[in-house]
Structure 1
């Protein structure tokens, strides 16, 4: 049975995305950035998905965006849909396009690229435009199309703090740390033996208690929190960060926070290789190898972390390079490529 053709008086955008559990928050956070851009253009946006992380859901609510169940998207009156999720079936994009709706798919290399869309966007460093979409489709790739939330852009514009004394370190492994990266990376930071003031984001209470109890050397302070009111501001106030090699890395580079990254899952491998090979970030290892007790992987990662803690000139170089590469205007470019303009008569 064919679906009714969708029409709308002006642009009306649906976003199909989820957050929470083992999928983390990266998909929903970059969609939030694009949503904020479209809301700034006076465009109506509705999210169709499960947002089980309170701060992510609150971000959409502050933007005035309702959240509906995924199944409702096929009955909505929409002109454009953004799909971001590796497990969303290609039949969704195909059905929407057959009813005259412009579909944008956010992808990461081959992950998510099965979707049937009019526009494919891969925001990752070193990405190549997707090949294999339907006839007439367009593909954008690379850092000019990186999507950043209002909070990231505000932190980028803030005056840089003067680094002095013991380095302030932010450790963040996705919004939920779904693979327990903090269990391995926090001990590695402490094993450098270098003084530090470490702030760890860890929403799991039992894991947080374990991290607080870890032995530490003189001059090492550790604070473990479930969340912070403004992660971007926390990053901007830090001398360096340790992060999973997902979309958070692009945010840290945009803000100008020198970063070491750990590759947590397979879909992060292309970005991990590209950014570490080109010296944009330092390598903190691959989580599966670290978890398996690979001594060489761990030793190399600890050495990289020690360099980041002890070499201010290196941190300055990483800060300048990251901010030069990411200009913060990617979300406007993607909205333009979607053809989403302010409705006629809007301010």
Structure 2
């Protein structure tokens, strides 16, 4: 056991991140994994996010006794949070915040960890985290004194994902239809679920599929025509999603950060590129033979997805994918990130 010495800032870790019906919950979910690691070490965390716009995401914070302040979007709003909380570390994870917010946090003297997916894009920070596959092979210059943590060794996994990784997959009846789980982010902002459900229905294969979605998407998925031997059920987003992943023979997902979670559990994944910013991840994971590429969402709408047939038909392919994916994400990324942060910026006096 070692004691982390106090810094000049004695408050909690402040996490400011994107979340919402149009932006999805990926930023919040990976920050939640980081927050869990900090909490396990006795370090308090406060979020600033529009979590209430996605009630089930807000519930995840409440379950972990994580305070959530209203979202901050400007430098002045962030400076107000700094004055109020005096955080020893600030975490920013956003596609929307301007670079001036990052500059303001650093100018105020608070250590800053920035989660990035697309280079630095003019954002200043003390520590950059790019948890994407292959990021470690890209040369990205950082400001003097800063460090960049890159690649799947630093992928942030929540407690439920790590628990599922350590669990045993339920036995499968070889005569039964393949069990399919389909989810496309917490809010499916691009409307992928109905498109994929229709494609499954027209595949000509047997399957027993569960789609995770709500609202209009759930209604459209539920209305898809299915043939004999095909079944589609719809459930709402659930904190037990990792258990569903573990039980599935095939998981269909958008090519966002949730793919790294699926790999950690050891899922046989078919990925859809649902947005332009998912293109690098889609190309990387399919090139690494860790998932089957189903194509771009607009192509799926026209019926082009031979990958679904391969996944449903070939158990040996699915087992190869599970083994390959699981070997690439070990579930200890968040530990490495927090270790590095504590090495650089000793947190408040806390027994670790």
Q: Cα offset for 1:201?
A: 1.1
Question: Is contact 1:82–1:105 with CA below 8 Å preserved after alignment?
Answer: yes
Q: Cα offset for 1:21?
A: 1.6
- What CA distance in whole angstroms lies between the structure 1 residues aligned with 2:49 and 2:200? 37
1:280–1:223 distance in 2 versus 1, CA, 3 Å: same
- What CA distance in whole angstroms lies between the structure 1 residues aligned with 2:65 and 2:281? 32
Q: Cα offset for 1:58?
A: 1.9
Structure 1 position 151 matched with structure 2 position 160: yes
- What CA distance in whole angstroms lies between the structure 1 residues aligned with 2:189 and 2:337? 29
Question: Is contact 1:41–1:342 with CA below 8 Å preserved after alignment?
Answer: no
1:130–1:14 distance in 2 versus 1, CA, 3 Å: farther
Superposed CA RMSD:
1.8
SS in 2 for 1:22: coil
Structure 1 position 317 matched with structure 2 position 336: no
Corresponding position of 2:331: 328
Corresponding position of 1:217: 227
Structure 1 position 238 matched with structure 2 position 248: yes
- What CA distance in whole angstroms lies between the structure 1 residues aligned with 2:349 and 2:294? 50
Question: 1:207-286 counterparts in 2 under 5 A?
Answer: 207-286=217-296
Question: Is contact 2:125–2:146 with CA below 8 Å preserved after alignment?
Answer: yes
Corresponding position of 2:18: 18
Question: Is contact 2:43–2:350 with CA below 8 Å preserved after alignment?
Answer: no
Structure 2 alignment gaps of length 5 or more: 1-6
Structure 1 position 178 matched with structure 2 position 179: no
Task: Answer with 47-56 or 80-89: which moved more.
Answer: 47-56
Question: Is contact 1:12–1:78 with CA below 8 Å preserved after alignment?
Answer: yes
- What CA distance in whole angstroms lies between the structure 2 residues aligned with 1:207 and 1:56? 18
Q: Cα offset for 1:99?
A: 2.2
Q: Cα offset for 1:184?
A: 1.2
Which structure ranks higher in relative contact order (CA pairs < 8 Å, sequence separation ≥ 6)? 2
- What CA distance in whole angstroms lies between the structure 2 residues aligned with 1:25 and 1:334? 21
- What CA distance in whole angstroms lies between the structure 2 residues aligned with 1:172 and 1:330? 23
CA offsets, 1:139-179, max 9 Å, x none?
Answer: 11110000011111111111122222211100101101111
TM-score (norm 1): 0.91
Q: Cα offset for 1:229?
A: 4.2
- What CA distance in whole angstroms lies between the structure 2 residues aligned with 1:342 and 1:102? 10
Question: Is contact 2:199–2:300 with CA below 8 Å preserved after alignment?
Answer: no
Q: Cα offset for 1:342?
A: 6.9
Structure 1 alignment gaps of length 5 or more: 1-5
Q: Cα offset for 1:18?
A: 2.4
Which residue of 342, 348, 351 corresponds with 1:346? Answer: 351
Structure 1 position 120 matched with structure 2 position 128: yes
- What CA distance in whole angstroms lies between the structure 1 residues aligned with 2:140 and 2:314? 42
Q: Cα offset for 1:191?
A: 1.7
SS in 2 for 1:23: coil
